[in-house]
Structure 1
Amino acid sequence: MMISMKNATQWRYVTTAISVIFLVVSLVMIGVRGLNWGLDFTGGVVAEVQLDPVVTNHQLDQVLETALHQDVSVIAAGEPGRWVLRYAIPEPGAQVDITASLKTLDAEGLVLNTSMVGPQVGQELAEQGGLALLVSVLCILGYLSYRFEWRLASGAVIALFHDVTFVLGFFAATQTEFNLTVLAAVLAILGYSLNDSIIIADRIREVLLAKPQAPIRQISNEALAATISRTLVTSGTTLMTVGALWLLGGGALAGFALAMFIGILTGTWSSISVGTVLPELLKLQARHYLPPPVSEAP
């Protein structure tokens, strides 16, 4: 038993060191490469077209990317054969004829309507998205400060920061498009990672009060052993759902599913490692949860 406890402690500290390395690399990627903002934030052209229902998403995507020399977002509309196309505004002087490109797939293809979204609208969306992220973080911090003592709450807070930063760092490193669906995934990751961290922190607090004389490392290991099966089962089933969404959801949901997939993995990882190690480094003890002694002096 003592050997397994020792190995568990070493494993948690090693994974925390790896998390710190990934965190630093992610921050460097964000600072150096930046995010590849999607049309939701930068503006672009939105066109709705009607084609023969036999034309597939893949065929349409290939033809348009060849004609426009850029990535094109192809989203299926409500009716068969109707598609919504989104792409960046062509450079001045560039000859772009969407209708001619569509005719190669369907001689009777039509462009139903075309509209342009300016960068000012994208900037407004970015500000609103950033505000939503800020409000979410402040609400989480308020809840954690109420629920836990600050030493224990700090593990959950840093784990949240780690998860979001790693997702953003991955998108910056790969230059995958960052759009509103990815921003929605980042907000969902905050809640998912917080759920895992709170479950483990709750168990640490319970064991801490039940065994006030036990070393904090032993308490963290016991709390982790009691919750690890639930954490892995929950994460595994969620990953299966997100994986199916990634494979079958099409291009419109690819960014969302990818961000969620990475966030679930890192959220589980950080809750087990960072969420338990940081309170140990801050010298969390049972007395921090005991009521202050009442003085008997008159």
Structure 2
Amino acid sequence: MRPLKLIPDNTNIDFLRWRTLAMGLSVLLIIASIALVATRGLNLGVDFVGGQVVRATLPQPVPLDQVRARVDALGLGDAAVQQFGSPRDVSIRLPLPAGGDEAANAAADRVRAGLTRAFPGARIASVDTVSGKVSGELFSKGAWALALAMLGVSLYIWLRFEWQFGVGALFSLFHDVALTLGFFSLTWLEFDLNIVAAILTIIGYSLNDTIVVYDRVRENLRKYRKMEIIPLLNLSTNETLSRTIVTSLSLIMALAALVFLGPAVIFGFSLAMLLGIVIGTYSSIYIANPILIWTGVTGATFVTNAATKGPAAGAERVGPRSDA
């Protein structure tokens, strides 16, 4: 039985033909995302702002205003009520009461009793309580984790390849993170530590995909030193396209199943991962590659003695080959 080939061996797509349009669109989306986060902010979860979050499953869909009115009547402070997962699932965020753990447990009990009385059959799924000091530390460490991860991987690529590749990888990662944050600001989905973990995973995936393309670019720069950089980048992208499609498609199918069929508690994480895989695949082709053109990468970038002595030095393009 012959193995299934999603991408034919002779595939020759001119990806870089749309590089200017793709880069312009990406820059606009980055600016829009930054502006959105700066003006509207993020719907920070209890992990970052402190307080209590009560997640409840109601017996039937109920207007959020009605739920909010019932919770406000308990006198526990201003409540933020939103839907998550199914129409019957609600998240209730309350300020942290004074008095420590005992007061927090008492407030949770009052919410549980109030919801059960107002909506018979209501079930409390979870109650999360985080103090203001702990939330500040989590926010600071989460921000440092994102910044150091991006800086570290860019430095790695810089040392492994050349500085142009490091710039391309860093801008690609910044693009992926910015668009993910903009999406969460636009949709007002809760942004908690699970989303930070998802973004770190996105950084790792996007970096891996970019390195696969960059490694083939470096190999082809040594083999086809007389080839123009745009055809060479197209050749390298087509040679790695089979691997990119198979990996991305497998992840997208698994994450889509989690988004639509998975538990509500990981909905934000799964959606962030799904969005990040799509954006990361796009950026490895339309962000990382064009930057190599604009930073002046040529066939002389990786000139070595082995390259000048080898029979492939100066060879012209012989056509794309499938990625093993």
Q: Same fold (TM over 0.5)?
A: yes
Cα distance in 1 for partners of 2:13, 2:273 equals 33
Q: Secondary structure at the match of 1:289?
A: coil
Of 5, 19, 23, 1:16 maps to 23
Cα distance in 2 for partners of 1:21, 1:72 equals 30
TM-score, normalised to structure 1, is 0.79
Matches within 5 A, 1:119-158: 119-158=132-171
Change (3 A) 1:214 1:42: same
1:87 corresponds in structure 2 to 93
Letter in 2 for 1:165: A
Question: Would you say the 8 A contact 1:224–1:272 is kept in 2?
Answer: yes
Change (3 A) 1:8 1:277: same
Change (3 A) 1:64 1:181: farther
1:78 corresponds in structure 2 to none
Change (3 A) 1:155 1:233: same
Question: Would you say the 8 A contact 2:227–2:299 is kept in 1?
Answer: no
Letter in 1 for 2:235: E
1:34 is aligned to 2:36: no
Question: Would you say the 8 A contact 1:155–1:275 is kept in 2?
Answer: yes
Cα distance in 2 for partners of 1:26, 1:48 equals 29
Cα distance in 2 for partners of 1:6, 1:235 equals 18
Question: Would you say the 8 A contact 1:57–1:74 is kept in 2?
Answer: no
1:44-98: CA deviation from partner (whole Å, max 9, x where unpaired): 125699xxxxx768669978556336326899xxxxxxx9x76222899xx9942
1:101 is aligned to 2:115: yes
Cα distance in 1 for partners of 2:297, 2:190 equals 42
Question: Would you say the 8 A contact 2:195–2:272 is kept in 1?
Answer: yes
Superposition deviation, residue 135 in structure 1: 2.7
1:79 corresponds in structure 2 to none
Question: Would you say the 8 A contact 2:59–2:120 is kept in 1?
Answer: no
1:170 corresponds in structure 2 to 183
Superposition deviation, residue 115 in structure 1: 7.7
Name stretches of at least 5 consecutive residues in structure 1 with no aligned partner: 50-54, 76-82, 293-298
Superposition deviation, residue 156 in structure 1: 1.5
1:241-286: CA deviation from partner (whole Å, max 9, x where unpaired): 1111112222211111111111111101111101110001111012
Cα distance in 2 for partners of 1:236, 1:242 equals 10
Superposition RMSD in Å = 3.6
Letter in 2 for 1:103: R
Of 230, 254, 269, 1:241 maps to 254
2:70 corresponds in structure 1 to 67
Give me the identity figure in percent: 31
Question: Would you say the 8 A contact 1:74–1:86 is kept in 2?
Answer: no
Change (3 A) 1:47 1:154: closer
Cα distance in 2 for partners of 1:105, 1:221 equals 60
Cα distance in 2 for partners of 1:226, 1:234 equals 14
2:219 corresponds in structure 1 to 206
1:18-63: CA deviation from partner (whole Å, max 9, x where unpaired): 11221111111122211121111111125699xxxxx768669978
Change (3 A) 1:167 1:74: closer
Q: Secondary structure at the match of 2:205?
A: helix
Name stretches of at least 5 consecutive residues in structure 2 with no aligned partner: 1-10, 72-78, 99-106, 306-324
Cα distance in 2 for partners of 1:110, 1:8 equals 52
Q: Secondary structure at the match of 1:45?
A: strand
Change (3 A) 1:127 1:71: same
Letter in 1 for 2:255: V
Of 178, 182, 202, 1:189 maps to 202
Question: Would you say the 8 A contact 2:96–2:129 is kept in 1?
Answer: no
Change (3 A) 1:115 1:271: closer
Change (3 A) 1:14 1:74: closer
Matches within 5 A, 1:270-285: 270-285=283-298
Change (3 A) 1:114 1:132: closer
